Structure 1
């Protein structure tokens, strides 16, 4: 994976010490990236560089040509395996995700350069900054599908937002239901490119760091080499029914069924029989069932006050597994640790990759 931000170079200096060119550097490709070799090969084949000098005296036309060059390089840096496989001679855009990550990285870079550059350099940098903003806004517009907002009761979700705001969440979004796509969020006010739409304090992120403060962890930390991932599943399964839980408003908004492959019924599985997906689902369910049988009823016997039999059924365990499979996010916590987490409110941002897609209000 690429680093989170690009480096900002000072660029070349003239005889008088003034900058004659500004250097923009993309983050180096990570040695840990499993796609490193393929990405290097594409960059070399297309004569793309992750470092580019932008003359401060160049014309707008030439500056935009250089911008296209660095955008192409950024797209390669942020390619995933599927995009690499189908890329061929295509220079992009490859996907909304890839384009947004690439452009957002360059937007942050231009903002830093505008703060540190001299007056002469700022003119060309402003041209590049404005063009990146235009390109970012066009990503959503390239999707011509209209998302229809439906009127629907969402008292639980409204309570979640109020709960979050009381505990420090800052949001410029509101809950909405979309025809054919389900629950999501829309802007409650105008949000510009680069603006923060949602801020969530770390104290509301459900991670293994929060787990360490729970009685589930204190009871199970020395139990049969149990992993933190399994303890998080057990914590979620139990917390779902905890009326005094700090996270009750969050659990109240979660669906009773997630409808992932893990909970497919007989008819759905029969339709998949003979496919690789069928085999994967069966193997996954068998693995989880074995894991469940190793935990229960043993935990109910050893820790009856924590694990009540009525909320520790196979269906409850499967629900917790599907919750983490479908709603978890990878977050870098303040400790520097990359953790798999559940993030209240942010989990509602799942209906579209194009946040600027046009909306039509539909009442029924």
Structure 2
């Protein structure tokens, strides 16, 4: 966490970012970017600086924070000339980490320092609002304060839930949470007592734990899934109201019918769905028939049919949250009410995974303001559309920076069989990726809207020396034949992909099932990404030919 330090003797205020940990799996890549841009962890701000000077230093602080908060995909696509923003998530997390410490220091600061900090706070707030404006996607409320959800909220409040949210129904999105009052950065939008969290402890307290613990290799997650299949129909369950509010169908990719699967022919998602379904069938066949036969009083056959198993899988995939409980154990849990919040690429709530030790509750704080009547969004994680369709049943609105297409290459080895070392000092990576070329912000020549590591890899392989250089723009005199070969190699990968995705224009959208519509949405997204890559390559070839 960032901190603010006051140094009276020097007349400065220091803002200290957390140093990059060597335990960070992305340490080398982040350090390279920090060093290349001469960014530090500690910044001195003279108290009597001009506003312009203060904002120049703040720009450096924000750049450093962005790098520190990068994930693998953001780091992979960040060119040396790209100072950000890298994604709405990264931007909100970076700005929020600075905003929170500045805001907390303001209350006890001296007058001259208050003026300095207020300048910083106002600019950070402006930047946060800018992220929101650029990524806002309004949903239409169809129904406010539905009876069933109101019962759930009342039940929750009776058991210690505190909230500034109410539940509404949204067109095309189902249920979601709306702010009942203005919620500021750092405020708690929702607080759930640990006693209402559905965790593995409930399995341990039940009669099914003894037979389940005898099974080799069974996980806590699987135990909870089997427990919830029975608890759903338990009229005496203390979670009865919660289970009663759950839908009869979750409509995720795991429930796609034959027509939807046929639409996905030629896409990456089809294989993912088929593999996921096969694994679930294998898991069901290995567990449920045997448990029902050996323990019929505990595992009633009518409650453990395949359709009910699939329902429970969809419940846990779409509503399960990784939570560190007060005993320090990390596990997948169901959190009543919190599961109703929808996902966004620009969420209000970024972090919510640890029970507060002092209050024994799970707190959902907002990282950006949420006005009364506005939908309050949660981050489900940094997932591509294929994952969100498979396990949640939707494609997010807007440009998802995590919609990537992975590429696997054979490892390049020396004559002695050892992999060459890359510019990072690590073994040469063989897994690369692309995403929509429109997301590239590099305006330098020979970048083609493609990620720098992929270009560096292809240049080295096609050049034949097997030595990867840092992923920066090639020299002006780089051999044009090699550049042309790079682009033609990319086209040889993606042109067949594009040809394999049929057109969606001949579908009657109004009379199409939900799963077919979702499959069509994904196919259009996949086509858009691939088309942007091929168009960029053809444009690059034209540029090379024109300069010949």
Does the alignment reach a TM-score above 0.5?
yes
Q: CA deviation at 1:152?
A: 6.2
Asked whether the 8 Å contact 1:25–1:52 carries over to 2, the reply is yes
Cα distance, 1:337 vs. partner? 3.2
Counterpart of 1:122 in structure 2 is: 114
* Aligned counterparts, 1:338-353, within 5 A: 338-352=330-344, 353=346
Aligned residue number for residue 67 of structure 1: 58
Measured in 1, the distance between the counterparts of 2:116 and 2:202 equals 47
Distance 1:217 1:27 in 2: 43
Distance 1:121 1:28 in 2: 25
Unaligned segments of structure 1, at least 5 residues: none
Q: Is the 8 A contact 1:184 1:351 kept in 2?
A: no
Q: Are 2:230 and 2:303, in contact at CA under 8 Å, matched by a contact in 1?
A: yes
Match of 2:378 in 1: none
Please give the alpha-carbon distance, in whole angstroms, between the structure 2 residues aligned to 1:39 and 1:295: 45
Q: How far apart, CA to CA, are the structure 2 residues paired with 1:338 and 1:67?
A: 36
**1:144-199 Cα shifts (integer Å, max 9, x gaps):** 53322112672221111111111111011111122232221111112122221111
Map 1:14-25 onto structure 2 (within 5 A): 14=9, 20-25=11-16
Residue in 2 aligned with 1:27?
18
Structure 1 residue aligned with 2:183, among 191, 196, 201? 191
Query: Structure 1 residues 157, 30: closer, same or farther in 2, change over 3 A?
Result: farther
1:36 corresponds to: 27
User: Of 315, 319, 325, which residue of structure 1 is paired with 2:311?
Assistant: 319
Greater alpha carbon shift after TM alignment, 113-122 vs 258-267: 113-122
1:284–1:197 CA distance, 2 compared to 1 (3 A)? same
Task: Compute the displacement of 1:30 (Å).
Answer: 4.0
| Cα deviation digits, residues 233-287 of structure 1 (max 9, x gap) | 1112222222211222222222222222222111111222343322222222222
Q: Distance in 1 between matches of 2:205 and 2:20?
A: 37
- Other-structure match for 1:166: 158
Task: Say whether the 8 Å CA contact 2:4–2:102 is kept in structure 1.
Answer: no
Task: Tell me the equivalent position of 1:108.
Answer: 100
Q: Which residue of 2 aligns with 1:80?
A: 71
Distance of aligned partners of 1:214 and 1:47 in 2 relative to their CA distance in 1, 3 Å threshold: farther
Q: Offset of 1:137 from its aligned partner? A: 3.4
Write the distance in 1 (CA, Å) between the matches of 2:108 and 2:209.
Answer: 48
Q: Does 1:142 align with 2:134?
A: yes
Q: What SS does the aligned partner of 2:286 have?
A: helix
Map residues 290-329 of structure 1 onto 2, 5 A cutoff. 290-329=282-321
Q: Does 1:246 align with 2:238?
A: yes
Cα RMSD, aligned residues only: 2.6
- For 2:42 and 2:197, locate their aligned partners in 1 and report how far apart those are by CA, in whole Å: 37
Q: What's the offset of the Cα at 1:312?
A: 0.4
- Change beyond 3 A, Cα 1:144–1:233: closer
**Separation in 1, partners of 2:178, 2:374:** 12
| Greater gyration radius | 2
Q: How big is the shift at 1:315? A: 1.4
**1:337 and 2:329 correspond:** yes
Partner of 1:91: 83
Distance 1:279 1:157, change over 3 A: same
Bigger RCO of structures 1 and 2 (CA < 8 A, at least 6 apart): 1
Secondary structure in 2 aligned to 1:215?
coil
Q: Is the 8 A contact 1:146 1:358 kept in 2?
A: no
* Higher deviation after alignment, 318-327 or 335-344: 335-344
Contact 2:178 2:373 in 1 (8 A): no
Offset at residue 11 of structure 1 (A):
4.9
Q: Which runs of 4+ in 1 moved over 4 A?
A: 115-119, 354-361
Gaps of 5+ in 2: 349-369, 376-548
Q: 2:194 aligns with which of 197, 202, 208?
A: 202
Cα distance, 1:9 vs. partner? 5.0
- Counting matched residue pairs gives 352
Asked whether the equivalents of residues 332 and 339 of structure 1 are also in contact (C-alpha less than 8 Å), the reply is yes
Distance 1:189 1:112, change over 3 A: closer
